[in-house]
Structure 1
Amino acid sequence: MASIIDYMKKNKDTSFDDLALNDADILSLNEIGYIPFGEVLEPAFDLSQELTLRDVLEHYEGKRDKLDYNFIMTKERVDLLEEMISSQRFADLRLSHYVNDVDNELEKQFAAMIFRIPKINHTQIVFRGTDDTMVGWKEDFKLTYMREIPAHRSAIAYLKNYLSLHEDKVLVSGHSKGGNLAVYAVSHLPSELQDKIAQVYMFDAPGLHEAEVTLQSYQNIRDRLKVIRPEESIVGVMLNIDVEQEVVESQSFGVFQHAATRWQVSEETGDFVPAEKPTDLSLNLQQTFKQWTDELSSQELKALFDTVFDNLIDNGFLSLNELSHFNRESATTLFNVFNSLNAINEDKKNLMSKSAKLFFAAFAGNFKVAKIEAPKLNLPALPDFPDWEEIKSKFDKK
Structure 2
Amino acid sequence: MGNIVDYVRTDFRSFAEHPFTAVDSLVLSELSYIRFPLVVPVFGVAKSVDTVPVGALLRAEDFPSMFSSDSQQVNSARLDLLVAVAESPRFRGMRVGEYAQRDDQAREQQFAAVTFDMGDCTGIRSTYGSGGLLYVAFRGTDGTLLGWKEDFNMAFRCPVPSQDAAADYVTSILGRSAGVPGGEAPGIMIGGHSKGGNMAVYAAVHAADRDLRLMQRRADESGDTQLPAVTATANDSSRDEHTASRYAVRIRHVFSHDGPGFPRRLQTAAFDAMASRVSKTVPESSVVGMLMDDHLPYHVVKADAVGIMQHLGVSWQIQDGEFVTAPGLSATARFVGSTVNAWMLGIDPADRKRVLDQLYVIFSAPGYRSFGELADNWTTAVPSIVAATRQTDRDTRRLVAGVLAALPATAWRNLPQVPQLVIDSLR
TM-score by length of 2: 0.76
Match 1:211 to one of 265, 278, 283 = 265
Equivalent-residue separation in structure 1 for 2:362 and 2:165 (angstroms): 27
1:1-398 paired onto structure 2 within 5 Å:
1-11=1-11, 13-37=12-36, 41-42=37-38, 44=39, 46-48=41-43, 49-54=50-55, 56-58=56-58, 60-61=59-60, 69-71=68-70, 74-119=75-120, 120=124, 121-167=132-178, 168-189=186-207, 190-191=210-211, 192-212=246-266, 215-266=268-319, 268=320, 270-326=321-377, 331-344=379-392, 346=393, 349-357=394-402, 360=405, 385=426
Cα 1:118/1:251, change in 2 over 3 Å: same
Displacement of 1:359 in angstroms is 7.6
The answer to which of 186-195 and 333-342 deviates more is 333-342
* SS, match of residue 229 in structure 1: strand
* SS, match of residue 195 in structure 1: helix
Equivalent-residue separation in structure 2 for 1:285 and 1:91 (angstroms): 41
Cα 1:8/1:253, change in 2 over 3 Å: same
Runs (5+) with no aligned partner, structure 2: 44-49, 125-131, 179-185, 212-245, 409-422
Q: Is the CA contact (8 Å cut-off) linking 1:199 and 1:224 kept in structure 2?
A: yes
RMSD: 2.6
Equivalent-residue separation in structure 1 for 2:101 and 2:403 (angstroms): 36
Equivalent-residue separation in structure 1 for 2:197 and 2:138 (angstroms): 7
Deviations 1:26-75 (A, max 9, x none): 211111111111xxx22x55444311111x134x1487699865417621
Partner of 1:378: none
Runs (5+) with no aligned partner, structure 1: 364-381, 387-398
Equivalent-residue separation in structure 1 for 2:365 and 2:3 (angstroms): 40
Fraction of identical pairs, as percent: 26
* SS, match of residue 147 in structure 1: coil
Cα 1:351/1:287, change in 2 over 3 Å: same
Counterpart of 2:299 in structure 1: which amino acid? E
Cα 1:290/1:68, change in 2 over 3 Å: closer
Cα 1:220/1:8, change in 2 over 3 Å: same
Cα 1:222/1:64, change in 2 over 3 Å: closer
Displacement of 1:351 in angstroms is 2.4
Cα 1:299/1:186, change in 2 over 3 Å: same
Cα 1:206/1:66, change in 2 over 3 Å: closer
Equivalent-residue separation in structure 2 for 1:127 and 1:65 (angstroms): 22
Displacement of 1:308 in angstroms is 1.9
Equivalent-residue separation in structure 2 for 1:70 and 1:173 (angstroms): 20
Equivalent-residue separation in structure 2 for 1:200 and 1:223 (angstroms): 9
Displacement of 1:112 in angstroms is 0.4
Counterpart of 2:258 in structure 1: which amino acid? D
Counterpart of 1:338 in structure 2: which amino acid? V
Q: Is the CA contact (8 Å cut-off) linking 1:47 and 1:95 kept in structure 2?
A: no
Deviations 1:280-326 (A, max 9, x none): 11111221122111222111111112112123335312112211212
Q: Is the CA contact (8 Å cut-off) linking 1:237 and 1:285 kept in structure 2?
A: no
Q: Is the CA contact (8 Å cut-off) linking 2:22 and 2:255 kept in structure 1?
A: no
TM-score by length of 1: 0.82
Equivalent-residue separation in structure 1 for 2:41 and 2:152 (angstroms): 33
Q: Is the CA contact (8 Å cut-off) linking 1:288 and 1:359 kept in structure 2?
A: no
Counterpart of 1:332 in structure 2: which amino acid? T
